[in-house]
Amino acid sequence: MKSKKTESSTSWLYSPSPESTAHISLRESYDLYINGKWEKPISGKYFDSINPANEKHLAKIAHADQADIDKAVKAARKAYDTAWSKLSGSERAKYIYRIARIMQERARELAVIESLDGGKPIRESRDIDIPLACNHFFYYAGWADKLEYAFPTRKVEALGVAGQIIPWNFPLLMAAWKIAPALATGNTVVLKPAETTSLTALKLAEIIHDAGLPPGVVNIVTGFGDTGAAIVNHPDINKIAFTGSTNVGKIIQKAIAGTSKKATLELGGKSANIIFDDAPIDQAVEGIVNGIFFNQGHVCCAGSRLYVQESVAEKVIQKLKDRIQTLYVGDPLDKNTDIGAINSKEQLQTIDKYIKIGIKEGAEIYQPACNLPKKGFYCPPTLFTNVAQSNLIVQEEIFGPVLTVQTFRTVDEVIQKANNTPFGLAAGVWTDKGSRIFNLTTKLRAGVVWANTYNKFDPSSPFGGYKESGFGREGGVHGLSAYVKLS
Ligand code: ADP
């Protein structure tokens, strides 16, 4: 296999270093994990999961409908009433620790499957997604018997059955973000992964099974939007936790309006990365690249709008272009790869549509010359300069490796521009001045503001948005409150 390269990087091309798939075992087809057993979908319907890097078939996945969801919710309710709510916090913690430890033991397998199924570079799934997912279970296992300290003087009760729906950009990590706090607080779960990335959630079902959780405490059901809607609309669900697009978030909010269901919604983003003239420029350029290009821009908090102070704009843009030329686009399983495959054909079409819009809007495009693989879904890193705040490529979420660059002169101007978006998930600030950082963190309307770094996550740190980026927080003590009733 030949490593993917950009023209300018041919002189120092790395040898290919593909991760082995020899230790991976995938079934030909996956059923639904309901009540501690693998159940065939009542309709008998399955769909294909493919590898977006080469369009090869990976496995058949069950498509759950309303009747299957009803079975899963009944199992979760029974498990809640008869088993999980009867356990002490320290007993629940033992199960959650066990899940975390088995995940760690199987980390390599999970990382490879994540890259095969989702297209993200193995370096990302191996070093970021899977360790963070394990840490999330470890972190919340620690809270399970300490809820009275998380909420002093309050009576803490679980909500009951949580319906959880997750997207394709961080499949296992999002499953961990949803399941770990729900279990720690005593809830039972029906979780649906995204249709293009079901495999690591199904592997997690195997792990949960091996950890010996009582049947029905965690149920993993697969399918499309109709399956998600069946969870949202099921009358015996107490809580909906959703991560995905703002459009579906709005549908969910309408669907549960007037019911007693609680909800947390983590939706889209169009996050600003702001570079001041006193910033460590090389470090900032690396942070920008990490914030938008690694992981194909498939991060809801991706720093997709860059604001550079005018006096250093020329320098920063040149350094960015130089750095982008050295990025490897290609086989997600190659350890050298920086930008893997776009998750699906549909997503690639969306990104291409926005790139065309950007060109039509008069923006200047820069893409390094890349030898993209013939099969699979790939997009080179793309930089747009000469853009205006009103351009669609600045306003709308693209969810791909596309960065818009604008300049600013004053702090007030950049705050106004950064906040001029329907979203409010994250932002980055690069400067040498601590006072400037604190000034901006209070004024930027974003759930997370990173200073002199980007895309850093920790289970103890809450994450969530403002405005159309959703509401509710995941992670940290805040993440517990989304799953409890306090009195
Ligand atoms: P993305 O644009 O990130 O794919 P989506 O919002 O389309 O985000 O999908 C996120 C998750 O929501 C997926 O698991 C998807 O199957 C599910 N989903 C899609 N439509 C609906 C719906 N109407 N109700 C509930 N879940 C849905």
**Residue 360 burial (CB count, 10 A):** 11
DSSP class of residue 70?
H
Catalytic one of 39, 195, 266, 474: 266
SS3 254: helix
| CA of residue 376 relative to chain centroid, distance | 21
Whether residue 370 lies in the annotated active site? no
In a domain, 403, yes or no: yes
In a domain, 193, yes or no: yes
pLDDT recorded at residue 464 = 87
What CATH code is carried by the domain that includes residue 321?
A: 3.40.309.10
Chain segment 312-346, per-residue pLDDT in tens: 999 999 999 999 999 999 999 999 999 999 999 99
Taking residues 268-288, report their average pLDDT. Answer: 95
Taking residues 450-457, report their average pLDDT. Answer: 93
pLDDT recorded at residue 7 = 43
CA distance 459 to 103: 16
What CATH code is carried by the domain that includes residue 79?
A: 3.40.605.10
Taking residues 429-446, report their average pLDDT. Answer: 95
> For the chain, how big is the Rg over CA atoms in Å?
22
Q: Based on the fold, state whether residues 177 and 238 are members of the same structural domain.
A: yes
Q: Based on the fold, state whether residues 376 and 250 are members of the same structural domain.
A: no
Q: Based on the fold, state whether residues 336 and 298 are members of the same structural domain.
A: yes
In a domain, 248, yes or no: yes
Q: Based on the fold, state whether residues 279 and 212 are members of the same structural domain.
A: no
Binding site membership of 194 for ligand 1 (Cβ less than 6 Å) = yes
Chain segment 29-49, per-residue pLDDT in tens: 999 999 999 999 999 999 999
Structurally, the chain folds into a number of domains equal to 2
User: 184 with 144: CB under 8 angstroms?
Assistant: yes
Q: Based on the fold, state whether residues 263 and 276 are members of the same structural domain.
A: no
Taking alpha carbons only, the member of 201, 184, 203 closest to residue 192 is: 201
Q: Based on the fold, state whether residues 132 and 223 are members of the same structural domain.
A: yes
CA distance 108 to 100: 14
Binding site membership of 175 for ligand 1 (Cβ less than 6 Å) = no
User: 474 with 264: CB under 8 angstroms?
Assistant: yes
Q: Based on the fold, state whether residues 68 and 141 are members of the same structural domain.
A: yes
Q: What angle do CA 231, 266, 408 make, to 5 degrees?
A: 155
Tokens read off for 183: 């279990």
In a mutational test of the pocket of ligand 1, which residue from 190, 248, 351, 423 has the highest number of ligand atoms less than 8 Å from its CB?
248
Q: Based on the fold, state whether residues 198 and 181 are members of the same structural domain.
A: yes
Whether residue 300 lies in the annotated active site? yes
Q: Based on the fold, state whether residues 369 and 342 are members of the same structural domain.
A: yes
User: Strand order of the sheet with strand 46-51?
Assistant: 29-30, 56-62, 46-51
In a domain, 245, yes or no: yes
Give the domain extent around 447.
272-451
Polymer length of the chain: 487
Binding site membership of 248 for ligand 1 (Cβ less than 6 Å) = yes
In a mutational test of the pocket of ligand 1, which residue from 61, 63, 69, 165 has the highest number of ligand atoms less than 8 Å from its CB?
165
In a domain, 9, yes or no: no
- For every residue of 454-485, which 3-state class applies, written as one string? CCCCCCCCCECCCHHHEECCECHHHHHHCCEE
In a domain, 398, yes or no: yes
Question: Do strands 37-39 and 32-34 pair parallel, antiparallel, or not at all (unpaired)?
Answer: antiparallel
Q: Based on the fold, state whether residues 256 and 283 are members of the same structural domain.
A: no
Q: What angle do CA 317, 276, 397 make, to 5 degrees?
A: 65
Q: Based on the fold, state whether residues 232 and 347 are members of the same structural domain.
A: no
Q: Based on the fold, state whether residues 196 and 299 are members of the same structural domain.
A: no
In a domain, 13, yes or no: no
Chain segment 115-166, per-residue pLDDT in tens: 999 999 999 999 999 999 999 999 999 999 999 999 999 999 999 999 999 9
pLDDT recorded at residue 12 = 61
In a domain, 22, yes or no: no
